[in-house]
Amino acid sequence: MLFEDTYRTIERPTEGIFRDRGSKFLAFAFPLSSENELKNILSQLKTEHPKANHHCWAMRLGIDRSVFRLNDDGEPSGTAGRPILNTLLSRDLTNIIVVVVRYFGGTLLGVPGLINAYKTATEEALRQAKIIEKTVNDIYTIEFDYLQMNAIMKIIKDDGLIILNQTFDNSYSIQVSIRKTQVNQTLAKFDKLNTVVKYGYTL
């Protein structure tokens, strides 16, 4: 199987709402690039909705879509985080978190009612979202001599690389983003120029 170098996520944060028998479910979807962002998103929503009864969520991370976490935040096990996550799975979305904030309306909804509510609220937020397809890119820093500048810039232009950073002080270096499926072909061109190529990370 060929390496899959694209994934689906949302372009920007969106919101959705679902009501059932007095309870209000506010869903907030955010694009996510690392688990470190999780804490800030949750604390922000808890600050904005301090009187809510539950802040349930599910996140999915990684290009191979293998990292996920979920939290029922006091709701019966499997009735909140799991339906949120299942909705993300069915849409094949990754690098995303959806938090559903619940205000209890006084009537118990039962397990099927809760599952439906968290699922529907999540779907409402995703309905507002623009789904985008992103490529998996490796980040490299290319170090070179001034005389190689034109040759380096030609490779960058020909291969459609994205320049993330550049330093032209005592030494010359450019940080570029290369689509994973074309890494070998592009690096071979830089190698021919005897540049120093340093791998950074995958984006």
Q: Please choose, from the candidates 154, 164, 165, the residue with its C-alpha nearest in 3D space to the C-alpha of residue 193.
A: 154
Contact 56, 45 (CB under 8 A): no
Q: Mind listing the pLDDT tens digit of every residue in the chain (203 residues)?
A: 345 678 999 999 999 999 999 999 999 999 998 899 999 999 999 999 999 999 999 999 987 778 999 999 999 999 999 999 999 999 999 999 999 999 999 999 999 999 999 999 999 999 999 999 999 899 999 999 989 999 999 999 999 999 999 998 777 999 999 998 899 999 999 999 989 999 988 77
Type and span of the H or E element at 181: none
The pLDDT, as a whole number, for residue 200 is 87
Where does 54-195 show beta strands of DSSP type E?
54-61, 67-71, 96-103, 131-135, 137-144, 162-168, 172-179
pTM for the whole structure: 0.80
| Backbone conformation region of residue 73, classed left if phi is above 0, alpha if psi is from -120 to 50, else beta | left
Contact 136, 202 (CB under 8 A): yes
Rounded distance, CA 176 to CA 138, Å? 8
Q: How far is CA 91 from the centre of its chain?
A: 14
